[in-house]
């Protein structure tokens, strides 16, 4: 079977009935653009009806998993278009949690911003011991919108999630594992996903699917609430147009925005 995508590199592994899905824009550290978002959406939709696929390894070509959204593309978006874009991204992350396949995200040497939020949709996350996660959404002028508040809180606890986000933290491989964001770290040249895929292949398919669904059910009410309130606060922050600004441009002052809203 051949998969034909422009921004994804998809490989089928018959021996474990699994797919490797690599984000394929290494020149941008695999930044997410609209085309990639649509291709992920289409692939995940296809996977919902292909239960013969046991597992998915989501990773990136090159050294990094994903650097977040493509900043050049964002700068030409209107606020309305960006809101629709964010809503689709949120659906992709939620869709990962609902897929019948077990999803392993290999973060390689790290991720940033919305790339970290994409990884939150995985069931299992691994990374190199040298990896760094940069929680830089606030530096970019937007509020996390696809689990970067609520799901991160579930996976690592509110105190850690709050610290990482509110300080724009750069989190090393050891801290990722100790806090439970990643389940395993590995050295460069090692293939830690191969063993995981073999273990998944040995499982009873129905039991595996139902176990994933049971884990989802335990957080589903909070998950639905999470996506609702994250959308509200993320969309509200877009009024500033700060996401379009270069790093040397000042962000909108909170008092100036409040004054503008009162005058409307």
DSSP 179: T
> What pLDDT score was predicted for residue 81?
87
> What pLDDT score was predicted for residue 229?
85
- Burial annotation 57-95 (CB, 10 A radius, 16+ → b, else e): bbbbbbebbbbbbbbebbeebeeeebbebbeebbebbbb
> What pLDDT score was predicted for residue 129?
92
> What pLDDT score was predicted for residue 9?
95
> What pLDDT score was predicted for residue 254?
72
Give the chain's residues under pLDDT 70.
Answer: 1, 256-264
pTM above 0.85, yes or no: yes
Paired with 104 in beta bridges are 57, 124
Element at 208 (helix H, strand E)? helix 205-237
C-alpha torsion sign, points 143, 23, 196, 51: positive
- Beta strands per DSSP E along 63-217: 102-106, 110-112, 124-128, 132-134, 170-172, 184-186
**Residues 174-202: tens digit of each pLDDT:** 999 999 999 999 987 788 899 999 999 99
**Residues 217-262: tens digit of each pLDDT:** 988 888 888 888 888 888 877 777 777 777 777 887 777 655 655 5
Residues 6+ apart with CB under 8 A from 191: none
Quick one: which of 172, 174, 147, 173 has its CA closest to 161?
A: 147
**Domain covering 8-205 in this structure, CATH number:** 3.90.226.10
Cα–Cα distances (Å) from 132 to 1, 106, 126, 224, in that order, read 35, 13, 12, 29
Given a contact cutoff of 8 angstroms between Cβ atoms, the answer to whether 55 and 20 are in contact is no
Ramachandran region, residue 106 (left: φ > 0; alpha: ψ -120 to 50; beta: rest) = beta
Given a contact cutoff of 8 angstroms between Cβ atoms, the answer to whether 96 and 72 are in contact is no
Domains of the chain: which residue ranges?
A: 8-205
């Amino acid at each position: 079977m051949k998969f034909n995508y422009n921004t994804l590199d998809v490989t089928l592994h018959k021996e474990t009935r699994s797919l490797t899905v690599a984000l394929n824009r290494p020149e941008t550290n695999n930044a997410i653009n609209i085309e990639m978002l649509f291709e992920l959406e289409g692939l995940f939709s296809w996977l919902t009806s292909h239960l013969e696929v046991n597992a998915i390894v989501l990773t990136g070509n090159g050294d990094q998993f994903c650097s977040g959204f493509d900043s050049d593309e964002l700068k030409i978006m209107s606020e309305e278009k960006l809101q629709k874009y964010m809503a689709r991204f949120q659906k992709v992350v939620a869709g990962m949690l609902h897929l019948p396949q077990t999803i392993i995200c290999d973060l390689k040497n790290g991720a940033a911003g919305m790339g970290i939020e994409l990884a939150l949709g995985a069931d299992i996350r691994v990374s190199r011991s040298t990896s760094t996660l940069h929680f830089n959404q606030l530096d970019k002028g937007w509020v996390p919108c696809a689990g970067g508040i609520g799901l991160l809180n579930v996976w690592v606890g509110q105190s850690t999630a709050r610290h990482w986000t509110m300080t724009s933290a750069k989190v090393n491989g050891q801290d990722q594992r100790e806090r439970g964001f990643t389940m395993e770290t590995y050295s460069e040249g090692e293939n830690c996903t191969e063993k995981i895929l073999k273990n998944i292949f040995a499982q009873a398919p129905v039991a595996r699917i139902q176990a994933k669904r049971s884990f989802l059910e335990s957080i589903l009410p909070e998950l639905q609430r999470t996506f609702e309130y994250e959308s509200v606060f993320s969309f509200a922050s877009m009024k500033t147009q700060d996401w379009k600004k270069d790093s040397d441009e000042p962000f909108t002052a909170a008092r100036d925005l409040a004054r503008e809203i009162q005058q409307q």
